[in-house]
Amino acid sequence: DCEHEIDAFFDTLGKGFRVKTVTLVTQGREIKVKATHAGVASFDFDELCDRPNSAADFIAIARAFHTVILHNIPLLSMDNLPVVRRFITLVDVLYDHQVKLLATAAAEPFRLFQAEKGAAQDEAFAFDRTASRLSDMMSEEYKTKGHRPSVSSTDDGVDLCGLAEIHAQDISDEDIARIWDKYDTDKNGLLSKSELHQMLQDMSQLKKGHRNVGDLTLEDAFSSIDKDGNGNITRKEFVQYARSGKVSVWYII
């Protein structure tokens, strides 16, 4: 059925990466993500829309993941307007950040919200836009768009969030060179584990407001880039990894 198909797709998207449970932090609040790998996160509808989550929570998710899988979208009605409003906000945020959305739902987008004529016209109008956006997110044109997280930069202009999230074909040689030069602090042409750790901490600070990068995250990132396993990352290895599109997993802690 659809649930099995979408679960299989989640596994395919993250092939070669371990499924993790992570915590995002925004405005002092924690957002638990029970299943994520390789920049893809899986949620049940109730986790996001039947709880007191805010736009800020959804923005944190949209910044952290290029693809969201959403299970079990139910039929919506006047009886659960707070849930409807959260869902509208969620879709708006994902759409604005060009996050890919894969979902299982009780109906097609324009049939999800059922309201009597003359009732809740504001919500009905807003949901028409939501349904239009959901339909657009199903189009091939939308699927080819790159993830567009909010951009933050370091004081010297190195866009770390961009390195973490933009598609490989969008990373310029100049961007890679600037980031390499910033973190190859001893200028020996190699990135040590401590230098990579500094990079990951800076990314985490920019993305989530903290510098907590665990040893396991560091080891995973380092071993993924250090292809020859000699304990150092060469510039060639770094460039190859950046262009592979896998850098998005670095900031998921």
Q: What pLDDT, on the 0 to 100 scale, is given for residue 157?
A: 41
Residue 98, helix vs strand vs coil: coil
pLDDT in tens, 67-126: 999 999 999 988 888 999 999 999 999 998 899 999 999 999 999 998 766 655 677 788
Answer whether 53's CB lies under 8 Å from 60's CB.
Answer: no
Question: Is the separation of the CB atoms in 47 and 31 below 8 Å?
Answer: no
User: Which band of pLDDT confidence, cut at 50, 70 and 90, is reported for residue 228?
Assistant: confident
Highest mean pLDDT among 49-53, 142-146, 214-218, 235-239: 49-53
pLDDT at residue 76 in the model: 93
Q: What is the pLDDT of residue 3?
A: 78
pTM: 0.60
pLDDT at 204 over 70: no
CB-count burial class (<10 Å; 0-12, 13-18, 19+) for 202: buried
Q: What is the pLDDT of residue 187?
A: 93
Check whether 193 has a pLDDT greater than 70.
Answer: yes
Residue 176 host element (H or E): helix 173-183
pLDDT digits (tens, 9 = 90+) for 22-57: 888 777 788 889 998 888 999 999 999 999 998 889
Residues near 88 by Cβ (< 8 Å), separated by ≥ 6? 123, 126, 127, 129, 130
pLDDT surpassing 80 at residue 198:
yes
What pLDDT does 171 receive? 54
- In this structure, the strands spanning 76-77 and 67-73 are unpaired
What's residue 117's pLDDT?
64
In the predicted structure, residue 238 carries a pLDDT above the cut 80: yes
In this prediction, residue 215 carries a pLDDT of 79
Q: What is the pLDDT of residue 150?
A: 58
Residue of higher predicted confidence among 217 and 239: 239
Q: What is the pLDDT of residue 241?
A: 80
Q: Name the residue with higher pLDDT: 215 or 60.
A: 60
Looking at per-residue pLDDT, the higher value among 231 and 28 belongs to: 231
